[in-house]
Structure 1
Amino acid sequence: MKKVILITGGSSGIGKAIGEFLLDKDYIVYGTSRNTAAISNSKINLIDLDVRNMTSIEACIEKVLLLEGRIDVLINNAGVGITGPLEEIPLEEIKNNFETNVFGPIATIKAVLPQMRLQKSGLIINITSIAGYMGLPFRSVYSSSKGALELITESLRMETKSFGIHITNVAPGDFATDIASRRFHAPVKQGSAYETVYQNQLNMMNEHVSGGSNPIEMAVAIHKIIETKNPKIHYKVGAFMQKFSIVLKRILPDKMYEKILMNHYKL
């Protein structure tokens, strides 16, 4: 029996790469987008979904179940970036980021778990970020939202293990996608105490994304996880130094690690 895969945020970037790769591997793949009518070149089936809206989530899950009768793998990929000095990021934008990056995946998981319990099987893969393992300057909101999803996964694994459901995190580093163009940037305010340093950080972030790895690396990693009988709790995918930065955080004194980050970001 072919496995049925549902990928949130499957119309572009990493989600699109994963969906097309899995389709080529002979899975039944559904992706989502907030506006499928605007997308005409998708190789995978797309369903309208706004992860900030529970009614939209439930309608999407119901449609897949109506078409296929089951959902074997949920990949929580939908997410948005956000940058800025915490002092200057509008509170409503912080709330919107958590609605998308944290509450959205939670709501989607809640909607799919009853079916997976009924099947006595299922796999949920939460796409987080290496940035979720550390507080990065001018990315406090993004780092904390992805870090929250990492910990939610750890808890949820233990709660659902007896149902035959596996849950795991995959934390990517920098990949060459259009995330920079869709990220919310707190505006660089002329005369702000953060003006120069924040502008320099924006330039550096965009360079990292532009020079990032090929998203197909994420697709290959996800495929391996799907084919793994008992997935690990955490996976990291990206450049060696990005993954090694997590190791350094575990073994170095806090202030030493902070100094390394500040030197790296030229602060």
Structure 2
Amino acid sequence: MSNTKTILITGAGSGFGEGVAIGLAKLGHKVIAGVQISPQVTPLREKAIDLGLQDNLRVEKLDILDEYDVAYALTWDIDVLFSNAGIGEAGPVFEIPLGLVRRNFETNVFAPLNLAQKFINQFIVGKKKGKVVFTSSMGGLFTPAGFGIYVSTKHALESIAEALQQEVKQFGIQIQTVNPGPYLTGYNETMAETPFRWLNDEVNYTKKAELKAVFDAMLGVPEGRLDPNEMIDAMIEIVPSETGKFRNVVPKAIEDMLKENQKNAWEATI
């Protein structure tokens, strides 16, 4: 791969995806920013023009669950797939409706795997030393109560990425994950609202006020509201790089916390 790359980013309509798309375009990379819904297309195209990035930042509708969007995306010649799109369902694992669980896995696991498989096949056929980077999460490495379903999708993605890394290395294809800590993009806060559309105090054992207090304690403190620009800057460096770690947890304090948590897990009791 050359220093300047063509990079497809999914979930580029907001948050990390949008920030990384703009940042990589500023560095001279050719970026295809895939956004989930049509109303996100024009605003990002206009932002690209305002920033003078229209030659490097192409915006396309790419809903990773839409077979026609995916088929169109596979006509693009890329060097790097940054698989960033995802959704989050929160709430108690023992009560959450299974339909929501299935949808979370469809979006966060099956659809990214489908897209990765197809682009990896193109890399192999074209004898291209391509790269796939998955946005995982700090939650891919530990499980806080109330977020079990969402982080289980990220645990699955971690396993998929780890296996892929070993399997496609023979073809010169690179695989990485990026694992954001609790950055304030609005993603975690919105996810924390999801169970309140189905929880019913008259039916469920988990009461709304109790769950809200748990989420507020996690997300309402400075440690749960980090500046997302730190993560965006890290992603901009990691995604196009041809060297680096397989797993990339940011910030370092969260990496240290996760390592300690995993160590302590061996001594956990029931």
Aligned-pair CA distance for 1:121: 0.8
Q: Which of 74, 78, 94 is residue 61 of structure 1 equivalent to?
A: 74
Q: Which residue of the partner structure matches residue 177 of structure 1?
A: 185
Q: Which of 155, 164, 170 is residue 163 of structure 2 equivalent to?
A: 155
Question: Secondary structure of the equivalent of 1:30?
Answer: strand
Q: Residues of 1 paired with 2:265 and 2:136: CA distance? A: 25
Q: Residues of 1 paired with 2:170 and 2:224: CA distance? A: 42
Q: Residues of 1 paired with 2:121 and 2:241: CA distance? A: 23
Q: Residues of 1 paired with 2:219 and 2:102: CA distance? A: 23
Question: Secondary structure of the equivalent of 2:213?
Answer: helix
Pair 1:221-2:234 in alignment: yes
Contact 1:18 / 1:218 at 8 angstroms: preserved in 2? no
Residues 241-260 of structure 1: matches in 2 within 5 Å? Answer: 242-254=254-266, 256=268
Aligned-pair CA distance for 1:89: 1.3
Pair 1:141-2:149 in alignment: yes
* 207 and 40 in structure 1: CA distance in 2 versus 1, 3 angstrom threshold: farther
Pair 1:125-2:133 in alignment: yes
Q: Which residue of the partner structure matches residue 14 of structure 2?
A: 12
Q: Which of 115, 119, 131 is residue 108 of structure 1 equivalent to?
A: 115
Aligned-pair CA distance for 1:249: 2.2
Aligned-pair CA distance for 1:182: 4.3
TM-score, normalization by structure 2: 0.84
Q: Residues of 1 paired with 2:140 and 2:233: CA distance? A: 22
Residues 196-253 of structure 1: per-residue CA shift (max 9 Å, x gap)? 431212323442599522322223222322453333221101361x222211123225
Question: Secondary structure of the equivalent of 2:94?
Answer: helix
Q: Which of 198, 217, 223 is residue 211 of structure 2 equivalent to?
A: 198
Cα RMSD, aligned residues only: 2.3
Q: Residues of 2 paired with 1:231 and 1:250: CA distance? A: 23
Aligned residues: 251
Taking only the aligned residue pairs, the percentage that are identical comes to: 27
Farther off after superposition, 20-29 or 225-234: 225-234
Contact 2:41 / 2:60 at 8 angstroms: preserved in 1? no
Aligned-pair CA distance for 1:255: 5.1
Q: Which amino acid aligns with 2:32?
A: Y
Aligned-pair CA distance for 1:159: 1.1
* 77 and 38 in structure 1: CA distance in 2 versus 1, 3 angstrom threshold: closer
Q: Residues of 2 paired with 1:142 and 1:173: CA distance? A: 14
Residues 21-44 of structure 1: per-residue CA shift (max 9 Å, x gap)? 101101001111221344432123
Contact 1:75 / 1:124 at 8 angstroms: preserved in 2? yes
Q: Which residue of the partner structure matches residue 35 of structure 1?
A: 37
Residues 84-109 of structure 1: per-residue CA shift (max 9 Å, x gap)? 01122111111000011111110110
Pair 1:189-2:191 in alignment: no
Unaligned runs of 5+ in 2: 49-56
Aligned-pair CA distance for 1:47: 1.3
Q: Which amino acid aligns with 1:185?
A: T
Q: Residues of 2 paired with 1:40 and 1:181: CA distance? A: 26
Unaligned runs of 5+ in 1: 260-267
Q: Residues of 2 paired with 1:219 and 1:158: CA distance? A: 27
Q: Which of 83, 95, 103 is residue 102 of structure 2 equivalent to?
A: 95
